[in-house]
Amino acid sequence: MMQQSTPMHARPEYANETLQESQYGSAPQRNMGYPERLISKVGGVFLGAYGLTRGSLGGLLVAGVGGLLYHRGSTGICPVYSALDIDRSEPSPGPEIIRISDTVTINRSREDLYQFWRNFENLPLFMRHLAEVRQTDESHSHWRLRLASGLGSVEWDAELTEDRPGEQLSWRSLPGAELHNTGTVTFREAPVGRGTEVGLIIVYHPPGGRLGITAAKLANPLFAQMAREDIRRFKSLMEVGEIPTIEGQPTGS
Amino acid sequence: MKALCWYGKEDVRIEKIADPKILNPHDAIVKITLTAICGSDLHLYDGYIPTMRKGDVLGHEFMGEVVEIGPEVKKLAKGDRVVVPFPISCGHCFFCNQEEYSLCDNSNPNAAVAEKMYGYSGAALFGYSHMLGGYAGGQAEYARVPFADIGPIKVPDELSDEQVLFLSDILPTGYQAAANCAIRGGDTVAVWGCGPVGLFAMQSARLLGAERVIAIDCVPERLELARATRQVETINFAEESVLEGLRELSGGRGPDACIDAVGMEAHGFGPLGWYDKAKQTVRLQTDRPTVLREAIQACRKGGTVSIPGVYGGLIDKFNFGAAFGKGLTFKMGQTHVQKYLPDLLERIARGEIAPNDIISHRLSLDQGPEAYRMFREKADGCIKVVMKP
Ligand SMILES: NC(=O)c1ccc[n+]([C@@H]2O[C@H](COP(=O)([O-])OP(=O)(O)OC[C@H]3O[C@@H](n4cnc5c(N)ncnc54)[C@H](O)[C@@H]3O)[C@@H](O)[C@H]2O)c1
Ligand SMILES: [Zn+2]
Ligand SMILES: [Zn+2]
């Protein structure tokens, strides 16, 4: 019914990659400092990010993820948010989780969408902060998340836990991952030829005890926004074979 | 290249900037041969549209020659002469599929911002704020045109630039405004605003079968032009009561349809006019709904209020009860330009419409800043300015 180029052939030079590199390129790694202090700082970054409305937000968010994951980076504590440090000696309170979900209707068949997602190596084409996903075998993959500049990247292994062709895919990180996360994407036929309703659920377990949870909860709206942006990009890629952008256009000084 | 850039309220400048490049596979680059200033640009000029950034290239009414195409462009080739619709539309989403091009799902890279304000984002537009995509506009020497197979329409050599340029916006906008009125033979249609959009709405209302068209404005030469070229009766709102005038001219029943071709910067009168101006100035209200208020009051029971005039946000003292009590139908929004192009191009080619009849000023792009000022003031009999880069 629809005639369009398949996103599989999307050319990397048109996929915004240049900009992402420059924005989130890696930098020398530093030694780990005091994890709790860093998490506190991360919380501060998140709070600061609420005041922003565009552009740098994604970068800040990923900087935050970096802090949560790696407890790496500078040693100073943002004085404004040092209050967050109060509970720093607490042990991890257990299985608290953060859950993000979103839904979008895409004008393609369930099968097409499933197929594209099933090849996890496609995910970085629309998940802005994913640098790479390598399929290591039928059900295992290796993920690399690009962090804000100065924080390098984070990697983990994941396995497919559910594979219902044309309906659902679920995956989870393997033991040893620094940020435990699980994901599910569902594909449901929309009413009478209106495409496919795609649902995305991401659940993650923040590290770093209560502080990690506090920081992650603060970050949650930003994570939710990031998931929405990614799923929107997925839609554009699948409906038209490209993701809209103005990055690189000329403007007056 | 040279481009007309926005720097703030009443501050637009000609700047030397880089040429646009192909950024996505369905892009084309158009070398602009003619461009125009729209009433919508005045909302930017007057600082009423949020999320503009210094240096943004203005302009959404333009045409020219295709000089470069992306690898996935199939229907256009270098050398084609095209008019570019102001909404950027992907052609494949739910909305594009039902010809609601200005509601496209896939063209706005900043959809998140518009979603926060409106729930969902419409299509991106050229040169019309970052909330609506942030795409560089066409008051420039070149423009990058995304989804080049969907928007631009090729125009035959026999038709001059001036004859076809307004297919980019105001002609289809006036046409859609009238089409939205579901006009039946014998209908009376009232049109607020004798600017380009209003003038084309009047003409379209006639084409679509309206019996009587009534034009409302306060600028004498605009009212005169409407009378002379659009077979309308007129009401000068500076001299007489619009509501009384409309009642009288519509046999006491009220117009079957009311078209607001003025939008958020309507001139108001009396205490309510001052109230609106004051609130809008301090942004307690983003829009001055003078015309909208009048239209819902004037419209006959069961009639239609069609709103091509642009609104951006909140309005005050809006008599929703009148709309409800009279069972009115509201139709509005940015124009689905692409939908109307083949038909309107046909009508131009047949000589049924001569859209160039509204051009009052022919300037060079370099005169852009002066042109904005003049068009805003409606000075020197200014109806519509076209500019050559
Ligand atoms: N919906 C769309 O897609 C679309 C496209 C183009 C333009 N527009 C909008 O249409 C509107 C008109 O555009 P234009 O290019 O004709 O602008 P314009 O500024 O040339 O014309 C507006 C006219 O309205 C008159 N006016 C002001 N207050 C009035 C009042 N209270 N009653 C009656 N008339 C009044 C002005 O004197 C002026 O002649 C603008 O809001 C513009 O943004 C919408
Ligand atoms: Zn316009
Ligand atoms: Zn679309």
Co-location of A108 and A223 in the same domain: yes
Which A positions 187-226 lie with beta carbon below 8 A of chain B? 194-195, 225
Mean pLDDT score across all residues of chain B: 96
Co-location of A64 and A142 in the same domain: no
The model's confidence at residue B322, banded by pLDDT at 50, 70 and 90, is very high
Statement: residue B231 has pLDDT above 50: yes
Cα first-last separation, chain B: 10
Q: Could you tell me the residue ranges of all domains in chain B?
A: 2-169+335-388, 171-332
Q: Are B90 and A240 in contact (CB under 8 A)?
A: yes
pLDDT tens per residue across span B66-80: 999 999 999 999 999
Stretch A11-40: mean pLDDT: 33
What is the spatial distance between Cα A243 and Cα B48, in angstroms, rounded to a whole number?
Answer: 29
Co-location of A68 and A107 in the same domain: no
Q: Are B144 and B24 in contact (CB under 8 A)?
A: no
Co-location of A212 and A129 in the same domain: yes
Co-location of A71 and A144 in the same domain: no
Co-location of A38 and A114 in the same domain: no
Stretch A81-90: mean pLDDT: 32
Indicate yes or no: CB of A54 within 8 angstroms of CB of B113: yes
Q: Which ligand is nearest to the CA of B192?
A: 1
Stretch A231-235: mean pLDDT: 97
Query: How confident is the model at residue B316, as a pLDDT?
Result: 87
Statement: residue A19 has pLDDT above 70: no
Co-location of A137 and A163 in the same domain: yes
Statement: residue B181 has pLDDT above 70: yes
Helix axes A209-240 and A56-70, enclosed angle (nearest 10): 130
Co-location of A109 and A79 in the same domain: no
What is the spatial distance between Cα B29 and Cα B146, in angstroms, rounded to a whole number?
Answer: 9
Helix axes A56-70 and A35-50, enclosed angle (nearest 10): 160
Q: Which residue has the higher pLDDT, A66 or B363?
A: B363
Four-CA torsion B126, B130, B131, B135, nearest 10 degrees: 30
- Written as one string, the DSSP assignment of A71-97 is -BS-----GGGGGGGGGTTPPP-S---
Domain assignment present for residue A13? The answer is no
Q: Closest CB to A251: pick one of B55, B90, B94.
A: B55
Query: How confident is the model at residue A136, as a pLDDT?
Result: 97
Ligand 3 centre to CA of A232 (Å) is 13
Our count of domains for chain A comes to 2
- Helix, strand, or coil (residue A184): strand
Cα first-last separation, chain A: 45
Q: Are A171 and A182 in contact (CB under 8 A)?
A: yes
pLDDT tens per residue across span A102-129: 999 999 999 999 999 999 999 999 999 8
Q: Lowest mean pLDDT: which of A32-36, B129-133, B286-290?
A: A32-36
Q: What percent of chain B has pLDDT over 90?
A: 92
- Helix, strand, or coil (residue A197): strand
Burial readout B108-129 (b: 16 or more C-beta within 10 A, e: otherwise): bbbbbbbbeeeeebbbbbbbbb
Co-location of A200 and A159 in the same domain: yes
pLDDT tens per residue across span A167-221: 999 999 999 887 789 999 999 999 988 999 999 999 987 777 777 777 777 778 8
Q: Are B255 and B211 in contact (CB under 8 A)?
A: no
Radius of gyration of chain A (CA): 19
Indicate yes or no: CB of A4 within 8 angstroms of CB of B92: yes
Residues of B with CB below 8 A from A53's CB? Answer: 113
Burial grade of B380 (CB within 10 A; 0-12, 13-18, 19 or more): exposed
> Residue A31 CB: number of other CB atoms within 10 A?
7
Q: Lowest mean pLDDT: which of A93-97, A207-211, B84-88, B244-248?
A: A93-97
* Angle at the Cα of A187 from the Cα atoms of A183 and A192, rounded to 5 degrees: 160
Co-location of A63 and A107 in the same domain: no
Burial grade of A17 (CB within 10 A; 0-12, 13-18, 19 or more): middle
In B, minimum Cα distance to A228 occurs at B112
Domain with A53, as residue range(s), is 29-84
Residue type, A2: M
DSSP A13: G
- Candidates B49, B42, B50; CA nearest to B12 is B42
Statement: residue A226 has pLDDT above 50: yes
What is the spatial distance between Cα B11 and Cα B347, in angstroms, rounded to a whole number?
Answer: 38
Maximum mean pLDDT: which of A16-25, A35-44, B274-283, B315-324: B315-324
Statement: residue A39 has pLDDT above 80: no
Q: Closest CB to A248: pick one of B3, B21, B146.
A: B21
Query: How confident is the model at residue B350, as a pLDDT?
Result: 97
pTM, two decimals, is: 0.86
Domain assignment present for residue A216? The answer is yes
Query: How confident is the model at residue B241, as a pLDDT?
Result: 96
DSSP A190: P
- Helix, strand, or coil (residue A168): strand
Query: How confident is the model at residue A219, as a pLDDT?
Result: 77
Domain assignment present for residue A7? The answer is no
Going by CATH, does the domain composed of B171-332 fall within 3.40.50.620?
no
Residues of A with CB below 8 A from B92's CB? Answer: 2, 4, 107, 239-240
Domain assignment present for residue A6? The answer is no
Å between B343 CA and nearest CA of chain A: 24
Co-location of A60 and A133 in the same domain: no
Ligand 2 centre to CA of B197 (Å) is 9
Stretch B341-349: mean pLDDT: 98
Q: What percent of chain B has pLDDT over 70?
A: 100
Residues of A with CB below 8 A from B3's CB? Answer: 250, 252
Co-location of A53 and A172 in the same domain: no
pLDDT tens per residue across span B10-42: 999 999 999 999 999 999 999 999 999 999 999
The model's confidence at residue A21, banded by pLDDT at 50, 70 and 90, is very low
With left for phi above 0 and alpha for psi between -120 and 50, is residue A157 left, alpha or beta? beta
In B, minimum Cα distance to A107 occurs at B93
Domain assignment present for residue A103? The answer is yes
Residue type, B334: Q
Right CATH number for B2-169+335-388 from 3.40.1280.10, 3.40.309.10, 1.10.10.10, 3.90.180.10? Answer: 3.90.180.10
Statement: residue B123 has pLDDT above 60: yes
Distance from chain centroid for Cα B279 = 25
Domain assignment present for residue A14? The answer is no
Å between A38 CA and nearest CA of chain B: 30
What is the spatial distance between Cα A61 and Cα A219, in angstroms, rounded to a whole number?
Answer: 7
Query: How confident is the model at residue A96, as a pLDDT?
Result: 66
Residues of A with CB below 8 A from B109's CB? Answer: 243-246
pLDDT tens per residue across span B259-308: 999 999 888 877 778 778 887 877 777 778 999 999 999 999 999 999 99
What is the spatial distance between Cα B3 and Cα B387, in angstroms, rounded to a whole number?
Answer: 12
Query: How confident is the model at residue A221, as a pLDDT?
Result: 83
Q: Closest CB to B17: pick one of A10, A225, A252.
A: A252
Q: SS3 string of chain B?
A: CEEEEEEECCEEEEEECCCCCCCCCCCEEEEEEEEECCHHHHHHHCCCCCCCCCCEECCCEEEEEEEEECCCCCCCCCCCEEEECCEECCCCCHHHHCCCHHHCCCCCCCHHHHHHHHCCCCCEEECCCCCCCCECCCCECEEEECCCCCCCEECCCCCCHHHHHHHHCHHHHHHHHHHCCCCCCCCEEEEECCCHHHHHHHHHHHHCCCCEEEEEECCHHHHHHHHHHHCCEEEECCCCCHHHHHHHHCCCCCCCEEEECCCCECCCCHHHHHHHHHHHHCCCCCCECHHHHHHHHHCCCCCEEEECCCCCCCCCCCCHHHHHHCCCEEEECCCCHHHHHHHHHHHHHCCCCCHHHHCCEEEEHHHHHHHHHHHHHCHHHCCCEEEEC
Stretch B328-344: mean pLDDT: 98
Domain assignment present for residue A248? The answer is no
